[in-house]
Structure formats: structure tokens, C-alpha cells
A = this chain, B = another copy of it.
Amino acid sequence: MKEQSKIEQEYVTTQLDAINEALSNGLFVHVRKMLHSIPPADVALLLESTPVRNRSLLWKLIDTDYHGDVLEELSEDVRNGIMREMVPEKLADALEDMDTDDLAEMLHGLPDRVVQDVLESMDSMDRARAEQALSYGEGTAGFIMNTDTITLRPEVSVEVILRYLRLKQELPEDTDMLYVTNRYDKLIGTVSLTSLITAAPEISVEEIMEEEPEVIKVDMDETEVAKLFERHNWLSAPVVDANNQLVGRITIDDVVDIIREEAEHSMMSMAGLEDEEDTFAPVLKSTQRRSIWLGVNLFTALMAAMVSDLFEATLSQLAVLAILNTIVPSMGGVAGNQTLTLVIRGMALGHVSASNSRWLISKELAIGFLNGVIWAVLIASVVALWKQDYMLGLVIAFAMLVNMIAAGLSGVILPIVMKKLKIDPALAGSVILTTITDVVGIFAFLGTATWLLL
């Protein structure tokens, strides 16, 4: 089981090593040949695993016929970097004959000026398709759909359909479903390939079609599209406009990308990173991108310091408080972030709603209290033994209890409130939460200490 995975990993690593070595030895003809012997997805992986400096060199060695296929497989950040360096005519060539959904995604990442240049270099049919795709906003069903649907009329027999398909020779990629429309182009049913194959030749489409199929509106949010696919285990789904006219179809391969992005989004946001951040981006770009988050953190760290500053007199009398001052905020931060992460995931999965949030709040309050008691007793014992001061143990125990309750409550209330205010809790939740647990923790600890120990 582990063996296979190692082989796969080694295979990619070996390729990478071989190509890198050939590159640095200037064996460009050799590299060019190697790049043609592997599938586009592997070339994309190679580009993504290569520092930016070598990336453009590598790109130039890839045959231009191959460019479109590789671009489709690249992650957004890396792709945009490469496309910006291409001349518009070459880019237009690479984008030729691409599926509408991929075309929209490619062009979306480029500056408007470049998009104009590329559109002008395209032939009129491609340009029309590209403009159409771009007209739906990013993140909508229209943006991720393909327009290559096969439509049938209800009265035609299965035999005729099969003959027609045989004449067509090839069906669009990932076709599992044909669509039945009436003469106003309105979608009235779907016929799966399997039912077409198993049906008697003489019966009509109408008799085997699924009526009133579930459809996706062209302006539906892609997150909702992904949820519907997951919920119904679809391979593809028809997309209709406001008049119920069929405008395209969405296939599972594009949905898989959305599912991965959505799931990664929370993790990356919680660390203050952008989803599409390129691991091998240049130093300056990376530093700049990460600095916002560090700036916010510096601000909150200064806030915590100012709270401590209020107790300067106490701290100067009892240095031991300075030593222990970080423990309570740290525990509160971890406990609060656990709750926060769980609630953010629950929201993403659609589990958390108005009807159960009160229950969830009381649950986390109870956990916070229980956690508080457990860790208060433990830290009190450790401190009392270490510093031989029972009163000090009592003070830190009280602060721990208060902060754990605050952590549990803010971990569940913060994301719920933020969602209502339409702020992404994955992005800002963690930093606000840590500020709360820092401030409450320091106040509770140094405040109680000032009151009881001086």
C-alpha cells in the first residue's frame, strides 16, 4: 500500500530531477523531448514544482501545440504568471478550441488590456464564445459550464438517435447525459447514455427520458453547484437560463476543482494566505502577500502588550507574573481556535444554522467550562509546586477558567456573527479570536493578581 504511493512520488521526483539536471546542463533538445513524452498534467506539475526563474525557460521548451493542454492543468497563480509573459497572438493560439468554461477561467485572470488583445487575435467564433463565457460572473454556474451539449427532440425514436450519434463519430468529453428540449429550446427532460443503450430501438425519447430533471440556474453560485453535485452524486448537470432554456452543462471534473479549492480555502485563509498562493513564487511577491496578515498580528500583539502595560506596577513588583503571563492566553487561543475551526467547517458543510446555533453555543459553553476546570486544576498544581505559592496557583486557575469559557463562547459566536455580517470567518475569525483570548487572559490573570497578591 505504501509501496505504490512511494513509486508514484518517486516517478515524479525522478522526472523532475532528470529534467532539472538536463536544464542546468543546457541540454535543451533533450528536455524538449522529455517534456513531450509525459502527459500535460505532469508537465503542469513540473512547472508548479519549479522556481519562477526556471519556469519561463521550461515553458519555452514546451511545444506550442501543447500549450493549451498544459495551461488547463495549471493552478491559477502559476498560470497567470505564464500567460502574462506570452504574446497575445501565441496566447490566442493556445486558447483556440478550448472548452468555454476553461476559456473563461484562463482569461479571467488576465488584465483587461491583455484580454482585449487576446480576443482581437482570436477568430470570430472563438471570440464570441469567450465573450459569452466572460459575461457570466466568476464563481457562477455560467462561468464553469461547457456549451457542448447534445440535444434531442422528444418524439424521435432511440434508433434514429443512435444512428445520428454514430454519424457524429465523437461525443463531447464526459458525456453521460443527452438533453431533451422542446421547440422553444426549453429543457424538458434528460436521457442518460445507459438508458439509451438499454432501451428498445423503436421507442421514442419521450418514453425513456427523465422528466422535470433537476437543473442548475446559470447564475447559481459555484459553491452551491458543488454542494448539489455532492448531494446527488451527479456526473454532469444541465444549466438553464431564466427562461428554462438549455445553455450548457457542468461536468464533475470542474466540480472536483471547486470542492478542492473550497476545502483548501479555509485552511489557507486561517493562516492568512491566499488560496492560490504559489509555493515557488518569487521572494518579494510572497513577502508582500504575507505582510498584511503579519501587520494585523502586530497590531493585536501590541494591543495585548498595552493590556499588560496597565499592570506595569504589579509586574514590576512580582516578576513571576511576567513569567506566567503567556500561559493563560496561549491555552485560550488553542481552545478557541479548535471551536472556531469546527464551526467554520460545520458552516461549510451546511450543518450550522439558526435553528441549532443556540444548542451549539450552550455546548461550547459547557466544553469551555469543563476545559477550564480541568486545566485550571492542572496549572494551579504545577504553579503551586513550581513556585511554592498556593495563592499564585489559585490566581492562575481562576484566570484559566475565565479564559477557557471566553474562548469557547467566542469560538462559536464569532463565526456565526461574522457570517451574518458577510465577513469570511476563515479569514478574520482566528485573529479576532486570538485578540479576545489574549486580552481576557491577561486581564483575568494580572487583574486577579493585582487584587489578591499585592
Partner of A290, one of B169, B197, B335: B335
Question: Which residue of B has the minimal Cβ distance to A233?
Answer: B253
- Choose the segment among A60-68, A83-91, A108-116, A265-273 that binds chain B (4+ C-beta atoms closer than 8 Å): A265-273
Whether A157 is near chain B, meaning CB under 8 Å from some CB there, is: no
0/1 string, A232-275, CB within 8 A of B gives 1? 11010000000000000000110110011001101110111100
Which of these, B48, B232, B259, B315, contacts A323 with CB under 8 Å? Answer: B315
Interface residue? A428 (CB, 8 A): no
For residue A200, give the distance in angstroms from its CB to the closest CB of chain B.
7
Cβ contacts under 8 Å, A324 to chain B: 305
Report whether A297 and B355 are in contact in the complex, using a CB–CB cutoff of 8 Å. no
* Chain B residues whose CB sits within 8 angstroms of the CB of A49 once the complex forms: 350-353, 355-356
Given contacts A20-B355, A166-B198, A341-B267, contact A326 B297 (CB under 8 A): no
- Could you say which of A29-37, A119-127, A222-230 contacts chain B? A222-230
From B194, B330, B345, give the contact of A264 (CB < 8 A): B345
In whole angstroms, how far apart are the Cα atoms of A227 and B196 in the complex?
32
User: Please, which residue of chain B has its CB at the minimum distance from the CB of A228?
Assistant: B8
Judged by a CB distance under 8 angstroms, whether A128 is at the interface is no
A-B contact pairs, 19 of them (CB 8 A): A1-B219, A3-B219, A20-B355, A39-B231, A48-B351, A49-B350, A230-B260, A266-B267, A271-B342, A273-B342, A279-B342, A290-B338, A293-B338, A298-B331, A298-B378, A305-B324, A312-B320, A315-B319, A315-B322
Mark A residues whose CB is within 8 Å of B: 1-5, 8-9, 12-13, 16-17, 20, 39, 41-42, 45, 48-51, 137, 139-140, 162, 165-166, 168-171, 174-176, 193-194, 196-200, 217, 219-221, 223-224, 227, 229-233, 235, 252-253, 255-256, 259-260, 263-264, 266-268, 270-273, 277, 279-280, 283-284, 286-287, 290-291, 293-294, 297-298, 301-302, 304-305, 308-309, 312-313, 315-316, 319-327, 329-331, 334-335, 337-338, 340-343, 345-346, 349-356, 359-360, 363, 366-367, 370-371, 374-375, 378-379, 382, 438
